[in-house]
Amino acid sequence: MGFTPDFLDEIRSRLTVSEIVGRKVRLVRKGREHTGLCPFHNEKTPSFTVNDDKAFYHCFGCGAHGDVINFVLETEGLSFPETVERLSSQAGLQIPEYTPEAQQRSKVKKTLYDVMEAAAQWFENQLAAQVGKDGRAYIQKRGLTKYTVKTFRLGFSPNNRVALKEAMLLRTEFNEEMLIDAGMLISPEDGGDSYDRFRGRIMFPITDRQGRVVAFGGRALYENAKAKYLNSPETPLFHKGRLLYNLNGARKAAFDKGRLLIGEGYMDVIALAQAGFSEAVAPLGTAVTEDQIKEMWRLTAEPMMCFDGDKAGQRAATRVVERSLSLLKPGYSLRFVYLPEGEDPDSFVAGQGAEAFEKLLNEGSSLAEVLWIELVSKTKFETPEQRAGLEQKISQTLAEIKDPKVRGYYESDFKKRLKKLFGSEFVPEINLHQRPQSEWEKENQKVVWKKSAPNKIRFSNDEVEKNIGNLNKTKIGKTKGISLKDRERLVILTVLEHPWLLEGHEEQFATFEFESLELDKVRNEIIRIASRETDLENETLRHHLLENGLGQVVNTIFKQGVLTTQKFIGKNSSAADTEETWLHSIELFQFEKIEKEIAILGSKDLNEEEFARLQALLNEQSISNKKISDTLGKDP
């Protein structure tokens, strides 16, 4: 089996080295590189580096060097064909049949790079020549400097049907068929003579990740043009759904600054770069694709989508959100920056300046916020039916998120938003004492409704109260005397000492509602680390947290004397004792929160919505009670 060089290059471009190496080596991000202990020789001090920008790994200790293909080949014990097959599957590529025709196409593709480079140089020369005076006037009007024009290699295509064709065919290494294959000439279907695709336009070269010119975008200068912007067609070199404009130019700045800006067009990117935001890219005349989102994530975890301040910009943002939901994964998302109405990044930085634009970036919205606004802004929720419809719509939308961890957090977040939204709405009060008995009450006769005062209701459930009493006698139950924050710290501390708990109980830990924001941040970081590490040890986990700026919080947790006296979190505690007691702690928190909310609702006059919430709480209390009654008795 053989593979063309182009196919191997496509694998290398689609898979980041750190992603592949990170499955074998614990990598730490340092600037634009990752470092770790070399897998090819024994070492105690990291000398192994991975550079995604340059797409290779290198060890300064033993000299090991290579790309993603080399790494899998050397560490997996696979043959070369097996290695390529595995990586092509991970990259979402189908292995092409290796035939003489495929070899010939590979040779043609290499030649087409020469065609596109020659065309780019010719367009640049035309802009500088007498024929390019209209192009230079337009560029001057847009306020672009000579440095910017040179950096982005802007050019000009004369308003002539065959100017490029004649110039290119003067060179013996090119022929008409090559120019057609490269998308530079149009061949009429009626069999007539071919002619230039781009005429009377400012030319924007489009490069691939390696900086090679693979296509062009052209902006019309004359009113009789059929389209204001025109892009190259799909060619052996160019697939517009996979590339981003200025991808190669923005990579270094994106790595250095840790962010990536996404404009809607060529001029947005160029204007931003001239204003000092060289970490900007743009899709190529279409809505953002899944491949482009993945390409953005190779540069930064949360690209910032900068959309025009009009309805079209809002629709574009909605399309991006919809397209990205199935791709979301721990640590990777999008942010959205909306410009004032009537403005785009180009006009805004020209009129308001870089400082004002930086302020806009700092005020960007999360993907969750944009999605929430999109879901509720077009939906009425005045009646119970409308509210149920909104909840169903949200549930269906969030179901598109494939990653279970991310989906769980979105469900938790949107549940809180719904509660806040519905709680702020006015609902006519109903007379509780004249209501019929609910189906839930009929099925749960052990619940006794006791009238304690006019329009005041409290609830008791003998079985629930019995189990709460038993739970309070457990080791974790005896910690109820300490502060709420210390008890929340205890939940974190147990995981820090025993990370193996996450293997079977990650969902319980992920959905636990911390009132402390700093502890919630620690929990989120622990989950992110655990998702990347296998067989996570407590020292390794603490090391990661310290490196990620959470050392002070972690140290505070460990210094709390009331926590370190808990024997079940010690190094000598049994796994069974630790697991049981930790789960009891989470159950205790859940019981207390339900009890508290039931008590609040039971002490006031209830409207229809509050009564429905009360029923839901009682049902939740019954379910939780059954779960814990199955485990109590082991530690009474």
Which region among 58-72, 354-368, 415-429 has the lowest average model confidence (pLDDT)?
A: 415-429
Buried-state track 402-423, b at ≥16 Cβ within 10 A, e below 16: ebebbbbbbeeebeebbeeebe
* % of the chain with per-residue pLDDT over 90: 30
**pLDDT value at residue 354:** 92
pLDDT at 97: 61
Q: What is the mean pLDDT of residues 582-599?
A: 74
Q: Which amino acid is at 228?
A: K
Give pLDDT, residue 338.
86
- 100-231 matches 247-373 in fold: no
Q: Report whether pLDDT(119) > 70.
A: yes
| pLDDT given for residue 327 in this prediction | 93
Q: How far apart are CA 577 and CA 634, in angstroms?
A: 10
Strands (E), 400-455: 447-453
**pLDDT category of residue 436 using cuts at 50, 70 and 90:** very low
User: Degrees (nearest 5) of the Cα angle 63, 67, 73?
Assistant: 90
- Residue 151 pLDDT greater than 80, yes or no: yes
CATH code that applies to domain 5-90: 3.90.580.10
Q: Which tens digits make up the pLDDT trace of 476-524?
A: 444 445 567 777 888 888 888 888 888 777 777 877 777 777 788 888 8
pLDDT at 286: 72
Residue range 457-475: average pLDDT?
Answer: 46
- pLDDT recorded at residue 513: 77
- Tell me the pLDDT tens digit for each residue of 217-253: 999 998 888 888 999 999 988 988 889 999 989 988 8
pLDDT for res 427: 35
Residue 25 carries which side chain, given as an amino acid letter? V
Query: Distance between CA atoms of 261 and 279, rounded to whole angstroms?
Result: 6
Query: What percent of the chain is predicted at pLDDT more than 70?
Result: 78
CA 103 to chain centre: 38
CA distance 245 to 342: 23
Contacts of 322 (CB under 8 A, 6+ apart): none
Q: Does the pLDDT value for residue 123 go beyond 90?
A: yes
Q: Residue 256 in contact with residue 266, Cβ under 8 Å?
A: no
Decide if pLDDT at 163 tops 90. Answer: yes
User: Which of the two residues, 142 and 92, has the higher pLDDT score?
Assistant: 142
DSSP string, 53-110: TTTEEEETTT--EE-HHHHHHHHH---HHHHHHHHHHHTT-PPPP--HHHHHHHHHHH
128 versus 625: the higher-pLDDT residue is: 128
Mean pLDDT of all residues in 317-328: 91
* 100-231: CATH number: 3.90.980.10
Of 250, 368, 352, nearest in space to 309 by CA: 352
Cβ contact 90:12 at 8 Å: no
> Taking all residues of the chain, what is their mean pLDDT, rounded to a whole number?
79
Strands 335-341 and 365-366: antiparallel
Give bridge partners of residue 213 from the DSSP assignment. 207
User: Does pLDDT of 567 surpass 80?
Assistant: no
The predicted pLDDT at position 191 comes to: 78
Q: 205-209, 348-352, 624-628 — which is least confidently predicted?
A: 624-628
* Nearby residues of 252 by Cβ (< 8 Å), 6 or more positions away: 32, 53
Least confidently predicted of 68-82, 94-108, 115-129, 423-437: 423-437
| Residues in a beta bridge with 552 | none
Query: Is 3.30.1240.10 the CATH classification of the domain at 247-373?
Result: no
The per-residue pLDDT for 454 is: 36
User: Helix, strand, coil proportions of the chain in percent (round to 5)?
Assistant: 55, 15, 35
Q: Which residue has the higher pLDDT, 90 or 349?
A: 349
User: Would you list the domain boundaries of the chain?
Assistant: 5-90, 100-231, 247-373, 379-423, 442-629
What does DSSP say about strands 304-309 and 261-262: parallel, antiparallel, or unpaired? Answer: parallel
How sure is the predictor about 280, in pLDDT bands with cuts at 50, 70 and 90?
very high
601 pLDDT above the threshold of 80: no
